[in-house]
Amino acid sequence: MKKKVLILSGGISKERLISLDTGLQVAKELKKNGYIVKISEPDNNLEENIKNFKPTVIFNALHGQFGEDGYIQSVLERYKIPYTHSGVIASSIAMDKEISKKIFLKNKIKTPKFFTYSYDDTTFNIIKKINKKLKFPVVVKPLNEGSSVNVYISDKKNLSKILNILRSYKKVLIEQFIGGREIQVAIMGNKKLGAIELKPKRKFYDYKAKYDSKAKTQHIIPVNLPISKFKQLMHLAYKAHKIIGCKGVTRSDFKFFKGNFYLLEINTQPGMTKLSLVPEIAKYKGISFLNLIKWMLKDASKKK
């Protein structure tokens, strides 16, 4: 019997377009390999689509808020149908940068120093706090967005302007800016899949550098590190994957600076577009895009 796969994509987050691209590319690959596929938005028709289509497994191609923060996972739990990626709690923790960073630190994984800002203080006082705890420049970003959406590098002069831009978030993360090399690591279940280094032409690996082919970010694989350092990097990514309780595939974003690895965040639902990093790492390791997807579908049934 052919497997029926319902692909969830789109959604209402700021990463909607990336999610649609991921969903379409996964669907295309599965269809040409004999799977019965239906794409659904996570809207009011979802229950009807699940009821009528009767999928064997659900591929969660959603990104951002409501898609990888535990919300849709809690909805899917009701249907008792296997779904890809992490479950409710791990998704929720990984998406919240404040909580996940506290867990990293508790488990001796370095992450840039930070504090949160809730718009209940003056910019003057925040500048004093930054000078005391972090030093400029700093990174200012939402607590629960992915794909570097609305992430800014700020100096003292433009801090007020950036905080105003992000005011709709109510609470933001202000983080020490770490220079150095950008390295991303993929974990595939219990397998330390591999790593890739990024050299963006832009100031940092932001949304445009990730998804605009014209940004010409250089992808370097294999990563040029001493064997001992590479093993340390893979161990840290695997450790983060496990302590958060992640399932399936994750991608951890690191900075390598002055001999130290700093974990910025862990992504429980990495992109599956033609510019995405996990498929590129998998390909380098001899795993085709189809086999990567097939593994994820098979792994979905092992969530419990």
Mean pLDDT of the 207-227 span: 74
Determine the pLDDT at residue 303: 60
* Residue 253 among the catalytic residues: yes
List 29, 253, 280, 299, catalytic entry: 253
Round to whole Å and give the CA distance between 265 and 117. Answer: 19
Tally the C-alpha atoms within 13 A of residue 2's C-alpha that lie toward its C-beta.
11
Domain-wise residue ranges, the chain = 4-84, 94-109+180-300, 114-176
List 19, 271, 280, 299, catalytic entry: 271
Determine the pLDDT at residue 111: 97
List 10, 11, 13, 15, catalytic entry: 15
CB 30 within 8 A of CB 5: yes
pTM (predicted TM-score): 0.90
List 251, 252, 280, 299, catalytic entry: 251
CB 143 within 8 A of CB 116: yes
User: What would the pLDDT profile of 158-194 be if each residue is shown by its tens digit?
Assistant: 999 999 899 888 889 999 999 999 999 999 999 999 9
Q: pLDDT grade, residue 207 (50/70/90)?
A: very low
Paired residues of 186 in beta bridges: 194, 251
User: What would the pLDDT profile of 254-292 be if each residue is shown by its tens digit?
Assistant: 999 999 999 999 999 999 887 799 999 999 999 999 999
Q: pLDDT grade, residue 15 (50/70/90)?
A: confident
* Residue 147 among the catalytic residues: yes
Q: Does domain 4-84 have CATH number 3.80.30.10?
A: no
The highest-level CATH class for domain 114-176 is alpha beta
Determine the pLDDT at residue 150: 80
Architecture of the domain delimited by 94-109+180-300? 2-Layer Sandwich (3.30)
More confident residue, 124 or 231: 231
Mean pLDDT of the 223-251 span: 97
